[in-house]
Each structure stands twice: as C-alpha cells, then as structure tokens.
Amino acid sequence: MSGSCLHRSWEVSTVPDGALLGGAGKGNRNPAIDTVEKSDAPVVPEKPPNKGKAHAFEGTGSAEAVEGRGAAKGNAGETPAGRTPSRETASKGLEGIRETAKRDKRVKFTALLHHITPSLLVESFYDLNKTAAVGVDGVTWRDYEDILYERVHELHREIHTGAYRAQASRRTYIHKTDGKLRPLGIAAVEDKIVQQAVVKVLSAIYEEDFLGFSYGFRRGRGQHDALDALWMGILTKQIGWILDADISAFFDTIDHEWMMKFLQHRIADKRILRLIKKWLKAGVIEDGKRIASERGTPQGAVISPLLANIYLHYVFDTWAHH
C-alpha cells in the first residue's frame, strides 16, 4: 500500500456553505475577539546545552522492526527572509538538534527559539494549506501572501521579544461517520505560521524519540503503513489476539498540566513552552463569544497533531513498548 499524506500540516480546507455546521463564516478583525492573554516580557536567550554522552539505542518492538525508522527531514534557512523561501533539506541548526536528540535521550534543550528565523517563518507559511478555511481574523492565505515579506520581520520580532499574542480559534463542526459532530478549531493565519515553525523545530527532537509503531501524523508515515506493519506481523509472528481501541474525545480532553510536564522532559526553553501554553489557553470563538480553554488542544490546529503524539508517547506508547 502507498503511504499517506498525514504528515502534512493538519488544516481544514474551505468547503461549500452548509458543509460545516456552527461556523461563523469569515471573521472580522475586531481585537475584542483576541485572546485575553497578555504579552510576555522580553526574555534573554539561554546558552545552548553541552552535548550529552552517546549511548546505544534500546531494542524496538516487532512492528518497528518490520517497518523501520526513517530519519525525519527538516528544512529551515538561517538567513533573513528573501523573496524566495529557502527549501534546503535541513539547516545546520536543526540538524544539530536532531543529532543531539538522537545521541542523548535525556538531554533537555534550553535554547530553541533562535531557530525560529524569518526564513523559517516564510517557509512555514508556504507549507500551509492555501485553501484552508479562515480563522477569526478573516484573513485568507492569499491575503497574507500579499503582506508576507513586509510583515515577517515584525512577526519575528514579536516572537522573540514576547510581544506575540495567540488569537482564539474559530469553532466549527464537521460530520463524523457515526452521525455525530466533530468540533474543529480554525486558527488565524499568523498563528498557523508560528505553530508550523515550532513544529519544524520540535519535530527534530521528537522524531528521534517516537517509537517505530507510532504512525499517526508523522512525516512519511500513515495509516496504510500501520496496516502494512500489522499485516506483516500477522504473517511472520505468532499472533494470539489483536486489540482495537479508540480514545474518546482525545483532542478535546488533553490535560494541559500533564501536557506541559511531558514537554519539559525534553524542552527547557521557557519561551517555547510559553508559546505552546498560549495556544493551549487561547480558547475558541463560537457564536461570537470567546470560550476559555481549560483542557484539550484544538483539533484542526497545526500544532495539535504533534502535541497529541507527544502526549501519547508518554501515556501510552512507552507503556506499550515496555
């Protein structure tokens, strides 16, 4: 079976009227609907950590042995954004993060924000779905492209000085196969850009941590690859039973406190953690009202699949592996 495209940014495409229920349509640019969270004070970058001692990898599970683990590909330029975004396979900075994460599973990364460069922001913008539905800002991908190169350096400054503010997501619903409705959160374009940039940086770490039998929302992996591994396992191993399970309303019920604790196993850059916390707490706009977020991460947000995989890595995958 061919691989799937689930590794791409998880966004919701624009659909005809009536296909989405409960959506507010195009939002306005009224700042009153922005999240109430205040901007951060400027933070002095911390020194990068010393390289940890190398040690051998632990054994892998049967599905991992069947499927193998391909090295994740990343790309981000370190030069100021030009008219053409960098398409290098990996920057030296992100490759260094990846090598350190691979070498030492215990190291905590204290200086990650400086990898969020204007070039990476531009590249992240062009990674987004061009036809995705608009957020509360009412700005389409095409609208933002017109101001991208004039805006990106100011956005970069806001991120690094702590002035960046996350906007609430626009709540909408889609039909599930069982007839129920699945709630989605549509972020503003600028939030999508920053989230995508953070995903690129964090993926350099976590693609070295995630186990081989984890297939959802990972680069170069998908549900068909999981089925292939399952099929090979059945053919080549002595299988007595198969467990099929689902987590009810997983994205809606992720515990914020535990999410942050899990991130801190690897991430010690408080500025990156603060960005993620802003997105978790930004809330949603539904029927013109802002609803605060006490738990969960918006299903449909660019950052949510990675956060979900990190959460599951600690609460399920490592347990299943052991």
**Confidence at residue 88, expressed as pLDDT on a 0 to 100 scale:** 56
In this predicted structure, the answer to whether residue 270 has a pLDDT above a threshold of 80 is yes
Task: Please give the C-alpha separations between residue 228 and each of 7, 214, 224, 225, in angstroms, as whole numbers.
Answer: 17, 13, 6, 5
In this predicted structure, the answer to whether residue 115 has a pLDDT above a threshold of 70 is yes
**Confidence at residue 42, expressed as pLDDT on a 0 to 100 scale:** 44
Considering only residues 88 and 13, tell me which one the structure prediction assigns the higher pLDDT. 88
Q: For the packed helices 189-206 and 118-127, what is the interaxial angle rounded to 10 degrees?
A: 100
Tokens 């100011």 belong to which residue?
Answer: 154
Report the percentage of the chain scoring pLDDT > 90: 62
The arithmetic mean of pLDDT across residues 17-41, rounded, is: 42
Dig out the tokens for 219 from the structure.
Answer: 């680069």
Give the rounded distance of the alpha carbon of 296 from its chain centre: 14
pLDDT in tens, 187-216: 999 999 999 999 999 999 999 999 999 999
Bridge partner list, 182: 174
pLDDT in tens, 40-78: 444 444 444 444 433 332 333 333 333 333 333 344 344
Cβ–Cβ under 8 Å, residues 196 and 9: yes
d(Cα 216, Cα 112) in Å, to the nearest integer?
Answer: 25
Q: In what order do the strands lie in the sheet with 181-186?
A: 181-186, 169-175, 284-286, 289-291
Task: Please give the C-alpha separations between residue 309 and each of 132, 147, 221, 254, 282, in angstroms, as whole numbers.
Answer: 23, 33, 13, 11, 20
Considering only residues 305 and 35, tell me which one the structure prediction assigns the higher pLDDT. 305
**Confidence at residue 298, expressed as pLDDT on a 0 to 100 scale:** 87
Cβ–Cβ under 8 Å, residues 172 and 286: no
Cβ–Cβ under 8 Å, residues 62 and 238: no
**Confidence at residue 32, expressed as pLDDT on a 0 to 100 scale:** 41
pLDDT in tens, 227-254: 999 999 999 999 899 889 889 889 999 9
Q: Which helix (H) or strand (E) holds 236?
A: helix 223-236
The residues near 73 (Cβ < 8 Å, ≥ 6 apart) are 89, 90, 219, 220
